[in-house]
Structure 1
Amino acid sequence: MKGIPVKWFYLIALAFVWGSTFILMKKGLMGMGPYQLGALRIVLTTLFLFVFGYKAILHIEKAQWKWLLVSGFIGSFFPAFFLALAETQIDSSVVSIINSLMPLNTVLLGFAIFGIASTRRQVAGVIVGFIGTSLLIFKGAELHPSQNYVYILFVILSTVMYAANVNIIKRYLQDVKPVYIVIGNYMTIFIPALLVLYWSEFFTERTYAHPDFKMAIFYVAILAVFGTALLKVLYYKLIQISTPAFSSSVTYLIPLVAIVWGLLDGESFNAMQGLAAVIILVGVFLSHKSEA
């Protein structure tokens, strides 16, 4: 549509796809363990990317591989396992909500480590979004007292890694095409993921005998192709055409999608959490309003 910046289309598409990954992880964990899911997700994503984009490797300069390696581990490898571990104890919608801490970490890391400036309104937007996220977490804990919220630490650590990755891409890989970044990322973490998959006893009769194993493979395959490979390309493109604060604000919208999926799957959600979601959207607006 004329007059609407293209970055908003990327933002909305990413919110829907990314918000759906949490329910896919939840379904996948019904037939396999968290380490198996995380490793298989990476392996399938790498194979998919290699088949359709192996020629991209030829366009990656030698000096860029160092940052692609770092980006691959902190932006894809470790979060794949941390989020899967978190969902073994916490509802998928709650995990997605906690994931909204990422924009705050992006601004803080960008300013403190990478020297990337953010305007007052962008910072205000992140803070407002953080307040809404905190309210959602608090109400989630009330609704689910039996869940082990220590596992929140895995999600928080993932948001810190995602935030660092946003700033690394913006600073060191700005001139690299998004599809090259994604393929380079996954090529560097493929072997480690394959080793984890073997270590997790994925290739055993006991794993194959699980009654939900085949459906788990199906969900992880969808997660790998749409929720990881294509999502990463879109996300890195958004990072390059906008500011770190705006690109990371997609995580404010992710919980809204994940909550809908959670409700459809029988998870709980109340009016106060709905109010918190509105506050989060205000944060998204503020983080964008200051940009030209």
Structure 2
Amino acid sequence: MKTTNGLKWVYLILLSLIWGTSFILIKKSLLGLNAYQLGALRTIITGLFLFIAGFKSIKSIKKESWKWIALSGFMGSFFPSFFFAIAETEIDSAVASILNSLVPLNTVLLGAAIFKIATNTRQVLGVIIGFIGTSILIMKGAELNPNQNYLYATFVILSTIMYAINVNIIKKYLQDVKPLSIATGNYVVIFLPALVILAFTDFFKVENFKNNTFLTSIGFVAVLSFFGTALAKVLFNKLVQMSTPVFASSVTYIMPIVALFWGLLDNETFSWTQGLGTIIILLGVYLANKKPKKIRS
């Protein structure tokens, strides 16, 4: 039990580093690609990686599980890949990562309301405190970046709802399916739709491949696809199965710290107020995942 408890924190930190970096990779990819090309290409490359590593594993998926695999694929991968790319055409990568911190709140709310997954008072309190920290980061970000179109933040918020649905689906309906099988099955379902979308984006025009910025952006998408999607999906599915939906989704509380670091290196702004918000977020994560003390008789 202690080994599992320690391992879940290793998964959480590793995923925070990987996904926190994915936002700056999306930003760099958009220098040579449009949002639809990025979302489709990310899905296709990720699918190819997963097919190589886990195509044999999909044989273990039971027939009755495929409907949940499909829904998980669209909610947890397909639509968010496009929505985040669209959002980052107007808002900073760090702001997108901050807004992504709404996932744990949505996970608790949807888990209780739709999936009937029990939560306790400490989890709810931790989520609320974490959300307060996120709100501080958002408000300060809006103050520092008044020219950004925050209507595009709606795409990130919609993605957080989809991520929350996906987490609860994995926990309630796919608990006995191997993490690699889930991830590979997801992309079996969404690979073809992504390929169709890419074909309608003028991606395959010959002149595109003579453009160095275009080619460099494809390289960023390849890195994003392998680490930020394929590898991370397997790790995340495993984390959900070994912990709770709230704990697994709390990765979105730590990701902004990593994303803000990369944003700072890329000349995005950061203030001490945002630092305070980050500390409050970490406090929320701690409270949401702290085990209650056993009362000695």
What band does the TM-score fall into relative to the shorter chain? over 0.9
Give structure 1 regions of 4+ aligned residues with deviation exceeding 2 angstroms.
1-4, 205-211
Q: Which residue of 1 aligns with 2:57?
A: 56
Q: Are the equivalent residues in 1 in contact too, given 2:4–2:242 (CA < 8 A)?
A: no
**Which residue of structure 2 lines up, in the alignment, with residue 261 of structure 1?**
262
Structure 2: give runs of 5+ residues left out of the alignment. Answer: none
**Matches of 2:207 and 2:278 in 1, distance apart?**
42
So what's the TM-score if we normalise by structure 2? 0.96
Equivalent pairs counted in the alignment come to 292
Aligned to 1:239: 240
* Distance in structure 2 (CA, Å) of the matches to 1:53 and 1:133: 36
Offset from partner CA, 1:41-77 (integer Å, 9 cap, x none): 0000001111122111211111111110000001100
CA RMSD of aligned residues (A): 1.4
The answer to whether the 8 Å contact 2:28/2:217 transfers is yes
The answer on 1:184 being equivalent to 2:178 is: no
Note if 1:118 corresponds to 2:119. Answer: yes
Q: Distance in 2 between matches of 1:33 and 1:210?
A: 14
| Cα distance in 2 between the residues matched to 1:211 and 1:245 | 42
> Taking structure 1 as the reference length, what is the TM-score of the superposition?
0.97
Per the alignment, residue 139 of structure 2 pairs with 138
Contact 2:40–2:194 (Cα < 8 Å) also in 1: yes
Structural mapping, 1:14-29, within 5 Å: 14-29=15-30
State the shift of 1:208 in Å.
Answer: 2.8
Please name the residue that 2:84 is paired with: 83
Determine the C-alpha separation between the residues in 2 that align with 1:10 and 1:2. 12
Ranges in structure 1 where 5+ consecutive residues have no aligned partner? none
The aligned residue for residue 149 of structure 1 is: 150
Corresponding letter in the other structure for 2:32: G
- Cα distance change, pair 150–13 in 1 and its aligned pair in 2 (3 A): same
The alpha-carbon deviation at position 24 of structure 1 amounts to 0.5
- Per the alignment, residue 202 of structure 2 pairs with 201
- Alignment check: 8 A CA contact 1:32 1:207 kept: no
Q: Distance in 2 between matches of 1:243 and 1:291?
A: 15
Q: What is the CA–CA distance in structure 2 between the aligned matches of 1:209 and 1:124, rounded to whole Å?
A: 54
Moved more, 50-59 or 223-232: 50-59
Alpha-carbon distance change, 92 to 273 in structure 1, aligned in 2, over 3 angstroms: same
2: CA distance, partners of 1:62 / 1:214: 40
Aligned residue in 2 for 1:215: 216
* Structure 1 residues 103-126: Cα deviation after superposition (integer angstroms, max 9, x where no partner): 000000000000001110000000
Name the SS for the 1:281 alignment partner.
helix
- Distance in 1 (alpha carbons) for counterparts of 2:292 and 2:222: 37
Structure 2: how far apart are the matches of 1:112 and 1:210?
A: 50
Distance 1:52 1:160 in 2: 29
Specify the alignment match of 2:9 in structure 1.
8
Judged with a 3 Å threshold, the aligned counterparts in structure 2 of structure 1 residues 214 and 251 are, in CA distance, closer, same or farther, namely same
Q: Secondary structure at the match of 2:33?
A: coil
Residue matched to 1:36:
37
The residue identity in structure 2 corresponding to 1:23 is I
Contact 1:93 1:258 survives alignment (8 Å): yes
